[in-house]
Structure 1
Amino acid sequence: MGSCTKVFTTTLFALAAARHQIEPDAPMQRYMPNGVTLQPAAQNVTPLQLADFSSGMPDNPPDAPRDLRYRGIDHYTSADFFRWVSSWSPDGPLPRPYEYSNAGIGVLGAMLANATGRAWNEQLSADILQPLGMTSSFVGPVDVPGRTAEGHLRNGQRAPQWPLYAWYAAGAMRSTAADMLRFGEANLGHSEIDGHPVSAELIAAMRDAQKPRYTLPNGVAQQGMAWVTNNGNGSPGLHPEIWKNGGTAGFSSVIVVNPFKDAAIFIAVNQNDTPPAPVAVAIGRHLR
């Protein structure tokens, strides 16, 4: 799933905020793991700024190995990751202009664990996957015999195994089309999915994660907590579409929810650098 994982993490963040377990505008330092002291300029970055990409944190840790074989958490460990986090500072006043950040969502996942007393993957399972009946969704690089699709590079060759990163809350999930459509239906506000009741609390958290926070540099789309709302590029008669895409060495994916049409669309492609988002948006616009 790659970065489609991020909207699960921001939904968990919205849940924790609604439960008063984490304060969206509190200093980031409050929720750091024991022994991690941030630079003075970074201490006042907030969880919300990490969630909506206005913290100024870069996409990935610049000291992480470029080679996938050595980029996984077994080589570049959580300790290595937070050693870099403790050295990082935003390069200007907060909030910073939009900057997409895998690292920022990874830090947010660790902060959620500290704030709630539950590991990120435990929260993911208990608060989203189990309630929605997403039984084929899980975390990690483990293959499921007979069910795992083979990823490919753009040239058609087999893609290398995508490792579990130290910033796993930004991109560690694997899933299926059926499960992702369950997630999409819940994000549309459906109170029951395939016989599974969806709590008002979870629906409210999903809406909070979707809610636009500011306008992106293109002047049209709006950034939520990892979600992006596309307002139709100013074209008359088009209704907002809320989407998130993802990509790894061998896969590309996107989930789109269109509240006006009560439609959820998910597309996955087992080749990298083959973005399916334009196709998903086009399908949504043709639905009546």
Structure 2
Amino acid sequence: MDARLEEAVRAVDAPDVVFAFSRDGRRTVRCGGTGPPPPVPRELLRYEIGSASKTFTGLLLARLLLAGRVSGDDAAAARIAGAGPAGTGGVTLMHLVTHTSGLPPLPPGFRRQALPRWSTNPYAGYPAERVVRAFLDSRPRHRPGTRWRYSNFGVAVLGHALAAATATPWDELLTREVLDPLGLAGTGLSPSGPGVDATGHLADGTTPTPPLLIGGFQAAGAVRARPHDLLTFLEAHLAPEGVPLADALRWVRRPVLRRGLGHRHEHTPAWFRHPTDRGPMYFHSGATSGQQAFIGFCPDTGSALAALSTRRFHRRDRFVATAYGLLNDAG
């Protein structure tokens, strides 16, 4: 595994690269990159994981569902604004977490307002109130529950619905219900600055990007975490017995829909789930303006991988393919 991780690190063209692997709780971490080593070791920095944050959001929903604080059939509009179930087409919390709400990937008009900052912080000018208003003014493009379409907009709305249902700000809610119980002290939802957070880079691999400001899309992509915290998160999914949130960790592993050629690819409330020769592989990737992440695990072999990179993908980018292939082969 040492050699395979070293090879994976070399295959990724980015200033900073970390591949952290766990099998049955035994960890191996390899770091490298095309840039000079930062003052703080790469494996101790926090990385923006972008859409892989949705796995944390799915786990939080599971936690609240199993505690009876919300129901998957709750109308999102009712939770947010007290609107009746017919509001916004009857979109429920489960529709939002499974990307079957009928909402588009981003709110109408989002790209126009984000264009001036598209390569740095496209979400910064779209605060929570604007996300909520866009949702309450929207109508699903097809009947909720009938079609899968990946939606940052939908998961962002889910976050606001859960925050409203619990009368708790999102960062406080996720920290209290997920991060603290799992002991993820190196994980957060807002920038902390140099020496704590890794610095991302544009596709040229040299131009640094500012820290991500996610606006009202926290539930869809705000998490920044250290590699070892991500392994702790994944190991909890692999062996939930005796772990806080054990029932929720089991709940988010259950498939809820199929899609793709021959319906071979499944989805859970938090993960993509693909078949492999060694059993199912659960995974999610994510990207921000200057960083990328891939996290995944294989329950049948007790294997988990957290891969991180400080370069936004470019035309010949091999990051996700390398990480996916490593977990698939090593699993």
TM-score, normalised to structure 1, is: 0.87
Unaligned residue ranges in structure 1 (runs of 5+) = 192-196
1:151 corresponds to: 200
1:51·1:104 contact (CA, 8 Å) conserved in 2? yes
1:12·1:127 contact (CA, 8 Å) conserved in 2? yes
1:240 corresponds to: 280
Q: Select 1:7's aligned residue among 34, 44, 55.
A: 55
CA distance in 1, matches of 2:64, 2:88: 22
What are the superposed Cα offsets for residues 98-145 of structure 1, whole Å, 9 maximum, x if unpaired?
1101111111111111222222211221222222221111112342x3
- Highest RCO, 1 vs 2 (Cα 8 Å, sep ≥ 6): 2
CA distance in 2, matches of 1:90, 1:217: 22
Q: Select 1:57's aligned residue among 91, 98, 103.
A: 103
2:35 corresponds to: none
1:266 corresponds to: 306
- How far apart are residue 31 of structure 1 and its match? 0.5
1:286 corresponds to: 329
CA distance in 2, matches of 1:247, 1:155: 15
Alignment of 1:1-288 (within 5 A): 1-33=49-81, 37=83, 40=86, 42-64=88-110, 65-66=113-114, 67-68=116-117, 71-73=122-124, 75-143=125-193, 145-161=194-210, 162-191=212-241, 198-199=243-244, 202-218=245-261, 219-232=263-276, 237-273=277-313, 274=317, 276-287=319-330
Cα 1:268–1:222 shift into 2, 3 Å:
same
1:113·1:119 contact (CA, 8 Å) conserved in 2? yes
TM-score, normalised to structure 2, is: 0.76
What are the superposed Cα offsets for residues 137-191 of structure 1, whole Å, 9 maximum, x if unpaired?
1112342x32322211122232432222212111011111000000000111244
Unaligned residue ranges in structure 2 (runs of 5+) = 1-48
Cα 1:70–1:244 shift into 2, 3 Å:
closer
Cα 1:205–1:190 shift into 2, 3 Å:
closer
Residue identity opposite 2:321 in structure 1: P
Residue identity opposite 1:3 in structure 2: S
CA distance in 1, matches of 2:264, 2:195: 43
- Measured on the aligned residues, the alpha-carbon RMSD in Å equals 2.2
- How far apart are residue 72 of structure 1 and its match? 4.2
Identity of aligned residues (%): 26
- How far apart are residue 32 of structure 1 and its match? 1.1
- How far apart are residue 39 of structure 1 and its match? 9.7
